[in-house]
Amino acid sequence: MLQNDLGFVYRDIDQDVENLENVIKELMLQHRDESVAAPFFYDWELDDLRDQLPSSWILEINEKLNVPNDKIRITVLNAYFDASRHFDDYLKEFDGANVKLIGEPIGCINLNGEDDEGIVVITNIDAPYDEENEASLLECFYANGESPYKIAITPGEKWDFEPQTFSCPGEYTDDDFKLDKSIFEKISAHIKNLMLC
């Protein structure tokens, strides 16, 4: 369970593309230097995950962190579907412990090349430390596979348009990020064309 890894940063913006180039560059650099890495799940998996956890464990989504109704969320991310996290051995030791996992909704994102779906990352874990194994619950030991950078645009509820995920909008240089103008223009056009509900 939750044997995966996702690095992300995001920012909620208005429908203003004048400064969009700088926003995207800043997010790409922030992702490189400061991104949060955490296990993730699709929002529709919540009930099933709860059923698999011990009865004393709580799994919740912090809905205060949903995209604000009148904003547009830009999420920069990379995901690994194969990772090793401290879970099974922890479960044997702390099955009856009081554990609380809080998920953060980061946007609607196409992770697998098929559909844009709501992604939740577990960013807050209140659980006893596993002294015997010298590891925290869901501590990541390694992640494997391809993990391309992506950028996702998720609307708040007042916008009448579908979320969309784009490939990495450029490439990193030694100390900067160089935008790919063709990808940037697609992102910019997508935001410009938003319509209110």
Non-local (6+) Cβ contacts of 41 within 8 A are 2, 49, 103, 119, 120, 122
Give the model confidence (pLDDT) of 15-39 as tens digits.
888 899 999 999 999 999 999 999 9
Non-local (6+) Cβ contacts of 70 within 8 A are 14, 156, 158
**Residue 114 DSSP one-character state:** S
Q: Beta-carbon neighbour count of residue 64 at 10 Å? A: 8
**What is the reported pLDDT for 113?**
82
- Is-above-0.85 flag for pTM? yes
Give the model confidence (pLDDT) of 152-178 as tens digits.
999 999 988 889 999 999 999 988 999
Query: Could you state, in order of their start, the residue ranges of all structural domains in the chain?
Result: 5-192
Average pLDDT, the chain: 94
